[in-house]
Amino acid sequence: MTGQANGTGATTKMTTIDGKYGVLRELSRYGNVTLSEVRAAEGVTRQVAWFDISTPADRQAFHAYRSVLRALNPAGLTDIVARPGAYYAVWQTVGGIPLEGVLAQPKKRQETVDNIRTLAARLAEHGYALTDADIVVDGDEPRLAYLRALQLPRTPEDIAARNAPTLAALNGGRIRRPRQPGAWLTFIPGLLFLGGAVYLGAQAAQIYLNPPVREVASVGGQEARAAARKLTADGFRVAYSEGQSGRQGVGTIIRQDPPAGTNLPIGRLITLTVNNPRPSRCPSWKSRIWSRPGTP
């Protein structure tokens, strides 16, 4: 942020933003965005991302960014302003462990791992990667402390490539699964070895079968519940709709959208059309009489 235009078109050094935030220091610049540390009216320290809007494309990109923030509701966001001459977002400090610190831990809680994967999927739905955000973990809950604006959403391939190192580190080390009360009573020495083998096998299968982007499996012709179990096991969400086909059994899948073979980020929705044909109508009494042999 270089300054604020005065009435003659010249540019002066900006010491306040929108008359409300006193600039303490400039933190970074990227594209048309300047991030500054500021002092708010109530005396607290904030960060303000100021957008220099000079073209319709800049304005459109800002409004797209604002829509993403409203959908994600980041913990660090306190205000976002969009009016002629003032386009900016205000961020506050969020308590927690930075994501990098969690990834470096030799042991991670299963709830933490699952919640970070869910956040990655939510960001991917809006065209953002984990590396586009500053994330802290409070307990088991990952929180968005800051989200950098993009001129255009990233492609699924770009998101997958950027997320891959983080998700690989997330799988590193041991994952502590929640224990059920009294479960230790069921352990016997003969099952300890088997349990360890199953646990390691499940971890290996999860790492192999759960990439950020996955190909949609073909479930056409399968029973609806079995098809849903297959897709949800692959990390997708499933919804049903009804259709008709006389060539397949009732309750089987006659269509899936997106189709099989499509590469989708985990967490995306797949709609399955279930065969539910209308019952055939019984012939009327006239047609029954007409069909008797010898009837004129």
* Residue-averaged pLDDT of the chain: 82
Q: Which residues contact residue 61 at a Cβ distance below 8 angstroms, ignoring those fewer than 6 apart? A: 149, 150, 151, 152
* pLDDT tens column, 79-136: 999 999 999 999 999 999 999 999 999 998 999 999 999 999 999 999 999 999 999 9
What is d(CA 45, CA 98) in angstroms, rounded to the nearest whole number?
Answer: 19
CB atoms within 10 A of CB 241: 11
Positive or negative torsion for Cα 156, 159, 160, 161: positive
Average pLDDT on 23-27 reads 94
Q: Identify the residue with better confidence: 139 or 287.
A: 139
- Of 16-25, 73-82, 209-218, 282-291, minimum mean pLDDT range: 282-291
User: How many CB atoms sit inside 10 A of residue 277's CB?
Assistant: 14
The residues with which 12 forms a beta bridge, in sequence order, are 4
pLDDT at 71: 95
Q: Is the pLDDT of residue 186 over 80?
A: no
Per-residue pLDDT at 172 exceeds 90: no
Q: Is the per-residue pLDDT at 288 higher than 60?
A: no
Average pLDDT over residues 192-220: 66
pLDDT at 291: 41
Give pLDDT, residue 45: 94
Residue 35: CA atoms inside 13 Å, Cβ hemisphere, count?
Answer: 13
Band (pLDDT 50/70/90 cuts) for residue 191 is low
How confident is residue 197, by pLDDT bands cut at 50, 70 and 90?
low
Q: pLDDT digit string (tens) for 41-73? A: 778 999 999 999 999 999 999 999 999 999 999
8 A C-beta contact, residue 23 and residue 12: no
DSSP state of 200: H
For residue 248, the model assigns a pLDDT of: 86
- Is pLDDT larger for residue 32 or for residue 13? 32
Confidence check: pLDDT of 185 > 60: no
Q: Confirm if 133 and 71 have CB atoms less than 8 A apart.
A: no
- Residue 73's H or E segment, with its range, is none
In percent, the amount of the chain with pLDDT more than 90 equals 58
**Pair type for strands 33-39 and 45-51:** antiparallel
Angle value at C-alpha 190, between 187 and 191, nearest 5 degrees: 50
Q: Which strands make up the sheet holding 141-147, listed edge to edge?
A: 97-98, 133-138, 141-147
Specify the pLDDT at position 15. 87
Q: Which of 17-21, 125-129, 279-283 has the lowest mean pLDDT?
A: 279-283
Question: Using 50, 70 and 90 to split pLDDT, how confident is the model at 194?
Answer: low
Q: Residue written as tokens 């960060």?
A: 47
